[in-house]
Amino acid sequence: MTARIGIVTFPGSLDDRDAARAVRLAGAQAVPLWHGDADLHRVDAVVLPGGFSYGDYLRCGAIARFAPVMERVVSAARGGLPVLGICNGFQVLCESHLLPGALIRNAQRRFVCRDQWLRVDSVRTPWTSAYGAGAELRIPVKNGEGGYVADRRTLDALEAEGRVVFRYLRGNPNGSARDIAGVCNETGTVVGLMPHPEHAVDPLTGPSADGLGMFTSVLSHLVGVA
Amino acid sequence: MTTGTSASALDTVARATNTPDEPQPYAELGLRDDEYDRIRQILGRRPTAAELTMYSVMWSEHCSYKSSKVHLRQFGEKAPASDALLVGIGENAGVVDIGDGWAVTFKIESHNHPSYVEPYQGAATGVGGIVRDILAMGARPVAVLDPLRFGPADAADTRRVLPGVVAGVGGYGNCLGLPNVGGELVFDPSYAGNPLVNALCVGVLKADRIMLAHASGVGNKVILFGARTGRDGIGGVSVLASATFDDSGAPAKRPSVQVGDPFAEKVLIECCLELYDAGLVVGIQDLGGAGLSCATSELASAGEGGMVVDLDRVHLREPSMSAEEILASESQERMCAVVAPEHVAAFFAVCARWDVDARVIGEVTAVSPEEASRGGRLVVTWHGETIVDVPPRTVAHEGPVYQRPFARPADQDALVADDPARLPRPATGAEFRATLLALVASPNLCDKSWVTDQYDRYVQGNTALAQPENAGVIRVDEVSGLGVAVACDGNGRYCRLDPYAGAQLALAEAYRNVASTGARPVAITNCLNFGSPEDPGVMWQFERTVTGLADGCQALGTPVTGGNVSFYNSTGDTAILPTPVVGVLGVLPDVRRRTPMGFGGADGAALLLLGRTRPEFGGSEWAWTVHRHLGGRPPEVDLAAEAALAEVLVAASATGLLAAAHDLSDGGLAQVLVEACLRGEAGARITLPAGADPFVWLFAESAGRALVAVRPDDRAAMADLCGSHGVPWTDLGTVQASSTDLVIDAVLAVPLAELRAAWSGTLPALFEG
Amino acid sequence: MPRVVVDVMLKPEILDPQGQAILGALPRLGFDGVRAVRQGKRFELDVVDEMTEQTVRRIAETLLANPVIEEFTVHTG
Amino acid sequence: MPRVVVDVMLKPEILDPQGQAILGALPRLGFDGVRAVRQGKRFELDVVDEMTEQTVRRIAETLLANPVIEEFTVHTG
Ligand SMILES: Nc1ncnc2c1ncn2[C@@H]1O[C@H](COP(=O)(O)OP(=O)(O)O)[C@@H](O)[C@H]1O
Ligand SMILES: [Mg+2]
């Protein structure tokens, strides 16, 4: 069986084709999902890609959250469907309350695009199982509103429960609380991160191939559960 | 008219015929007496207010090229024969065949004045505009570059303008999903009141699916789609409208600043590409300067010649707009398509899927042979009355043409005579060290990542090289690896000293940048930024520049595919430095073979300097940074040597001889060594040839040179290759990846950390906070 | 048609980089005497007569503000 | 310490993509009855007692608003 991984395109999604390429490189089938679809087309996992859905004019991800396809994604995610939100996708997941916290304007108030070092702090999610604990990755980050915030209780709980999945290393690009680059839900199946693993799948077009592991992780998870 | 008062009755064609002597504010609209007389002659009557609007905006310098046309002809006349050119000058952008059924289109444009008034929106809409040009050719936009020029880096106004411009370029391009892969950042006092914001866009399409701006096929529908039309950028035309609004006492607000909506443009791109794929479009034109006046007159005159347009069908943002305002509006994110009637429903369905507003506003009509000979027939109606009835060709293509007087500026001889040879030079090791650190930290040579880190260079997943590399390299075909390289360059100081040579140096530098990646340069675009064409000295600079560029392109075999002219750039009464910016496109059969600029992966490699070094300092970065001096002659141009160097770089890349390559330009060899060491963090040890003058070798800006790193085993083959192309080369030393210093024997040694601190500290210190 | 205004501000405990930047820039421009700045959003809605304040509040809390980081007030313009 | 509020809105004739995006989303969320939306900025300034309204206006026009495309109002919070 080839795993079917759905990639949602919202109006203004930009990295949907890159995410599909990453999924294919990992050996899975990329299934395009349209924001207006009220159907997930039997996919085994979903990627919410980067971009500027609806221009991100109000708040990043605020309008995309209400797309018809998101209703399905939210209920399937609550039922255990693995979901990965990258950048704008992470923002959509926070706005949808599938993940705690929010992403605000970068501390330096500028968009930042750079090759960023990350540490994998949790390998217990379906999206990170292929990495060694504490693995260091070099992956592009590119965002204007990537500062992760949550109240102290939430942050403490995330740390205590091992739900900080990625942390920025050697410099925090956007002022995120506690250098948090990515988090997951209680069960670990829903992961959101600001950096872009889909842009680090081939050293020809990215700083490394370190991002591919997220897509191979979910593939082996799906094969494992099938 | 919205006032409804009898005093401002609709100025129909019938009314214009009956009131031949009614005074018209043509001068306020920028038309000269003789131009107005010509319009009357063309029409055989006075123009209506709406017609006057169309002629005045289309006959403006910006749209008609009236001062530049006589010179720009050289680009066509001297164009080298090229099988690769599928579409040349005259369309929205040129199209180049890159093989395997793929084609690439690219063009550069300026948005200088709007960016001074409103830096963020001016720059943003500049990007938006050039992207629509590329989209109109049928291509998917795949990359942007942004050559930028500002006043002194430490000037207060630069602190206002630069961050806004950069945020605007990034804000729009990032939201569109276009990787920014290169550009320029130059500071000079002449740009203080007049920054240059140029933007270049590259698009990719299948060679057999080029779209053109023509309204063919009688009965076909004219569809305006995208954003609604508002009172954006209608500047001068407000005199017309205010004359009518005055009666009712309702002053209309007329912003000349346009606000961009990149999200609207992003969906417009996807919508257009889907329309092209489905074969639903006969002809298409973007709306930019002069809005609907431009789109309708150009579409009509390039097609059947006939068109009727009903302005009441235009979807307005502000219902109270007058017909003249609608015709002149420069609202962004709009396109105009010609569609066969049987495809209109499908066209609307695609637009609906992308939530793009679309309206049929007119139809292609037949013209009689007699009408055709007069330039076709474009009829525009408003509230059921005919307000425009003109031959569209006379609007779009038969504007005035000036032979502006030109003369070598009076100060030119003195400037050239003021040779930098008289300037004091570094002599001791300590002085060399200080000079090197001062240069790498100077605003023109320092690290640009404070700017370029605000641009997404990864989106679309096809970026094989991006800034700070020699050129941007974009993969076109994922299977074969076929791709293109693009670089843009200009040097206003060289052009000030000798505009003919300066233009060729700009061309040569971009050409060399492209070749350094391993790509074969095939075609160019250009943006000519100059002062006032009414100044004979500026016109002389312009004429010399165009001639130099046309001759240079002929010599290098790279045709000009299109470009843009921006006049009236000055700070107070002083014109900017004459600034042609040249964009060169090259083809790389397999982007996996691209040559990087950094020494990072080149441990132990031998360093060879290709080309000839001469004591050339006129217009150099050293003379400017250290002595605030501009004078003498720019570096000598030898295009045959440039071509030979490029041959070597391309051949060496194709055969895998090069571990790294970096072309020399501003700042000379010293700068290139610093950049290549810091890129990837590797030291190097350099030994200059015996008897060499270290100052000349390190800081001269002789053209036609590149530094290459070759693995020891490949050194002999590289030397042979150079020999067979007649390219002189010099052994300079080796890359030492584990070393943390740049050492130039008997001259200086500087730790990389110190170089990096100097090089990368400048822009943050100036613009942070 | 009635106009209602929804003001949305970051919660006091959330860092406001834009407000901080303005606060930092003021003395450089010669303006002293400002002790704190916060930047938020203002939405002006033209609504039909029948619209209740309760509906406006629902619009604000579902769309205009993110309750995790922001708080809002509704008033008539 | 007194609080002053500066509201900054795009001039009415300037395109407001943000307001348009919200207006487009509302019906999809089941909210009818909103006819127009404009999005602007709200600045809350804590100032010293001596600060005059005139100074606040100068701050607004130099830093908080871009007079080319925006207009502002000053009031006490
Ligand atoms: N405004 C800009 N936008 C994007 N890239 C830029 C910009 N300014 C400079 N760069 C990039 O920085 C690098 C160094 O610039 P420059 O020294 O002008 O290069 P070169 O001398 O090789 O033409 C190049 O890769 C160039 O494309
Ligand atoms: Mg350059």
Cβ within 8 Å of residue A224, ≥6 positions away: none
Give the N- to C-terminal CA distance of chain C in Å, as an integer: 11
Specify whether the CB–CB gap between A217 and A84 falls below 8 A: no
Locate tokens 């081939």: which residue? Answer: A202
Question: What is the tally of helices (H) and strands (E) in chain C?
Answer: 2, 3
Nearest Cα to B660, choosing from B618, B613, B718, B727?
Answer: B718
Locate tokens 């217009």: which residue? Answer: B619
Specify whether the CB–CB gap between A192 and A122 falls below 8 A: no
Q: Residue B316 and residue B292: Cα distance in Å, rounded?
A: 13
Specify whether the CB–CB gap between B119 and B194 falls below 8 A: no
Domain end residue (candidates: B560, B575, B593)? B593
Specify whether the CB–CB gap between B495 and B578 falls below 8 A: yes
DSSP B689-758: PTT--HHHHHH---SS-EEEEE-GGGHHHHHHHHHHTT--EEEEEEEETT--EEEETTTEEEEHHHHHHH
What range does the domain containing B721 cover?
595-769
Ligand 1 site, residue B666, Cβ cutoff 6 A: yes
For the domain that residue B682 is a member of, what is the CATH number?
3.90.650.10
User: Is B448 inside a domain boundary?
Assistant: no
| Interchain contact B768–C (C-beta under 8 A) | no
Domain end residue (candidates: B575, B593, B611)? B593
Rg (CA), chain C: 16
Known catalytic residue: A159?
A: no
For residues B761, B764, B765 and B768, what is the CA-based torsion angle, rounded to 10 degrees? -160
Answer yes or no: do B577 and B644 share one domain: no
| Interchain contact A57–D (C-beta under 8 A) | yes
Cross-sheet strand order for the sheet of B741-744: B660-663, B706-710, B606-610, B729-736, B683-686, B741-744, B748-751
Contact yes or no for D22 and C50 at CB 8 A: no
Q: Residue B323 and residue B495: Cα distance in Å, rounded?
A: 44
Atom of ligand 1 nearest to the CA of B147: 1
Domain end residue (candidates: B593, B608, B623)? B593
**Crossing angle (nearest 10°) for helices D17-28 and B262-277:** 70
Q: Is B593 helix (H, G, I), strand (E, B) or coil?
A: helix
- Name chain A contacts of D29, Cβ cutoff 8 Å: 66
Cβ within 8 Å of residue B668, ≥6 positions away: B620, B621, B622, B698, B699, B700, B701, B702
Contact yes or no for A55 and D29 at CB 8 A: no
User: Is B492 inside a domain boundary?
Assistant: yes
Of D20, D21, D68, Cβ closest to residue B257: D68
**E strand or H helix at B239, and its extent?**
helix B238-248
Say whether pLDDT at C13 is over 90.
Answer: no
Tens-of-pLDDT digits for all 226 residues of chain A? 589 999 999 999 999 999 999 999 999 999 999 999 999 999 999 999 999 999 999 999 999 999 999 999 999 999 999 999 999 999 999 999 999 999 999 999 999 999 999 999 999 999 999 999 999 999 999 999 999 999 999 999 999 999 999 999 999 999 999 999 999 999 999 999 999 999 999 999 999 999 999 999 999 999 887 6
- Name chain A contacts of B455, Cβ cutoff 8 Å: 111, 113
Answer yes or no: do B294 and B224 share one domain: yes
Nearest residue on chain C to B769, alpha-carbon basis: C21
Long-range contacts of B426-432 (CB under 8 A, 24+ apart): B426/B695, B429/B747, B429/B748, B432/B694, B432/B695, B432/B698, B432/B744, B432/B747, B432/B748
Atom of ligand 1 nearest to the CA of B662: 22
- Rounded to the nearest angstrom, the distance between the alpha carbon of A169 and the centre of ligand 2 is 33
Specify whether the CB–CB gap between B456 and B466 falls below 8 A: no
User: Is B260 inside a domain boundary?
Assistant: yes
Kind of pairing between the strands at B574-575 and B570-571: antiparallel
Kind of pairing between the strands at B306-310 and B560-566: unpaired
Q: Which ligand is nearest to the CA of B671?
A: 1
Specify whether the CB–CB gap between B468 and A209 falls below 8 A: no
Specify whether the CB–CB gap between D47 and D1 falls below 8 A: yes
Residue B502 in tokens: 């300066």
| Touching partners of A (3+ C-beta pairs < 8 Å) | B, C, D
Nearest Cα to B275, choosing from B358, B197, B202?
Answer: B358
User: Is B496 inside a domain boundary?
Assistant: yes
For chain C positions 1-40, those within 8 Å of chain D (CB to CB) are: 1, 7-9, 19, 22, 25-26, 29, 31, 33-40
DSSP B136-170: HTTPEEEEEEEEEEES-TT-HHHHHHHHHHHHHHH
Contact yes or no for B170 and A111 at CB 8 A: yes
Contact yes or no for D21 and A66 at CB 8 A: no
Per-residue pLDDT, B767: 95
Q: What is the pTM of this model?
A: 0.94
Answer yes or no: do B225 and B315 share one domain: yes
Residue ranges for chain B with pLDDT beneath 50? 1-7, 242-253
Contact yes or no for C31 and D58 at CB 8 A: yes
Of C9, C45, C46, Cβ closest to residue D44: C9
Answer yes or no: do B273 and B293 share one domain: yes
| Interchain contact B769–C (C-beta under 8 A) | yes
- Name chain C contacts of D44, Cβ cutoff 8 Å: 9, 36-38, 40
**Crossing angle (nearest 10°) for helices B262-277 and B119-136:** 0
| Interchain contact B230–D (C-beta under 8 A) | yes
Domains of chain C: 3-76 (3.30.1280.10)
- Rounded to the nearest angstrom, the distance between the alpha carbon of B136 and the centre of ligand 2 is 29
The 3-class secondary structure across chain A, one letter per residue, is: CCCEEEEEECCCECCHHHHHHHHHHHCCEEEEEECCCCCCCCCCEEEECCECHHHHCCCCCCCHHHCHHHHHHHHHHHCCCCEEEECHHHHHHHHCCCCCCEEECCCCCCCEEEEEEEEECCCCCCCCCCCCCCCEEEEEEEECCCEEECCHHHHHHHHHCCCEEEEEECCCCCCCHHHEEEEECCCCCEEEECCCHHHCCCCCCCCCCCCHHHHHHHHHHHHHHC
- Rounded to the nearest angstrom, the distance between the alpha carbon of B603 and the centre of ligand 2 is 27
User: Is B734 inside a domain boundary?
Assistant: yes
Answer yes or no: do B166 and B297 share one domain: yes
Nearest Cα to B382, choosing from B293, B312, B441?
Answer: B312
String of b and e for C52-73 (b: at least 16 CB within 10 Å)?
eeebbbebbbbbbbbebbbbbe
- Residue count (chain C): 77
| Interchain contact D21–B (C-beta under 8 A) | yes
Give, for ligand 1, the residue of B448, B457, B663 to mutate: max count of ligand atoms closer than 8 Å to Cβ.
B448
String of b and e for B364-385 (b: at least 16 CB within 10 Å)?
bbebeeeebeebbbbbbbbeeb
- Name chain C contacts of B769, Cβ cutoff 8 Å: 21, 24-25
Q: Residue B466 and residue B458: Cα distance in Å, rounded?
A: 9
User: Is B633 inside a domain boundary?
Assistant: yes
| Interchain contact D42–C (C-beta under 8 A) | yes
Q: What pLDDT, in 10s, does the model give residues B108-138?
A: 999 999 999 999 999 999 999 999 999 999 9
Q: Residue B471 and residue B652: Cα distance in Å, rounded?
A: 17
- Residue count (chain B): 769
For ligand 1, atom 16, which residue shows the shortest CA distance?
B184
Ligand 1 site, residue B566, Cβ cutoff 6 A: no
Answer yes or no: do B561 and B701 share one domain: no
Question: Per the structure, how many domains does chain B have?
Answer: 2
The residue from B71, B111, B214, B343 that is catalytic is: B111
Give, for ligand 1, the residue of B467, B672, B705 to mutate: max count of ligand atoms closer than 8 Å to Cβ.
B467
- Backbone φ and ψ for B223, nearest 5 degrees, come out as -120, 125
Q: Residue B65 and residue B58: Cα distance in Å, rounded?
A: 10
- Rounded to the nearest angstrom, the distance between the alpha carbon of A201 and the centre of ligand 2 is 31
Contact yes or no for A66 and D25 at CB 8 A: yes
Per-residue pLDDT, B176: 97
Ligand 1 site, residue B516, Cβ cutoff 6 A: no
CA atoms lying within 13 Å on the CB side of residue B381: 12
User: Is B431 inside a domain boundary?
Assistant: no
Neighbours of ion ligand 2 (CB under 5 A): B 489
Answer yes or no: do B187 and B264 share one domain: yes
Q: Residue B717 and residue B207: Cα distance in Å, rounded?
A: 37
Answer yes or no: do B269 and B192 share one domain: yes
Answer yes or no: do B157 and B180 share one domain: yes
The CA-based diameter of chain D, rounded to the nearest angstrom, is 49
Per-residue pLDDT, B238: 58
Known catalytic residue: B62?
A: yes
Distances in Å between the Cα of B604 and the Cα atoms of A196, B655, B682, B683, B734 are 34, 19, 10, 10, 6
Nearest Cα to B473, choosing from B587, B597, B602?
Answer: B587
- Backbone φ and ψ for A34, nearest 5 degrees, come out as -95, 140
Nearest Cα to C41, choosing from A151, D5, D56?
Answer: D5
Nearest Cα to A213, choosing from A195, A100, A204?
Answer: A195
Answer yes or no: do B705 and B672 share one domain: yes
Q: Residue C45 and residue C43: Cα distance in Å, rounded?
A: 6
Distances in Å between the Cα of A129 and the Cα atoms of A158, B327, B358 are 19, 60, 48
Answer yes or no: do B583 and B696 share one domain: no
Name the minimum distance, in Å, from the CA of D22 to any CA of chain B. 13
Known catalytic residue: A196?
A: yes
Report helix, strand and coil shares of chain C as percent, to nearest 5: 30, 40, 30
Domains of chain A: 4-225 (3.40.50.880)
- Backbone φ and ψ for D51, nearest 5 degrees, come out as -65, 130
Answer yes or no: do B187 and B315 share one domain: yes
Measured on CA atoms in the order B734, B737, B741, B742, is the torsion positive or negative? Answer: positive
Locate tokens 């031998």: which residue? Answer: B606
Q: What is the pLDDT averaged over residues C60-64?
A: 95
- Backbone φ and ψ for B313, nearest 5 degrees, come out as -85, -5
Neighbour count for residue A77 (Cβ, 10 Å): 23
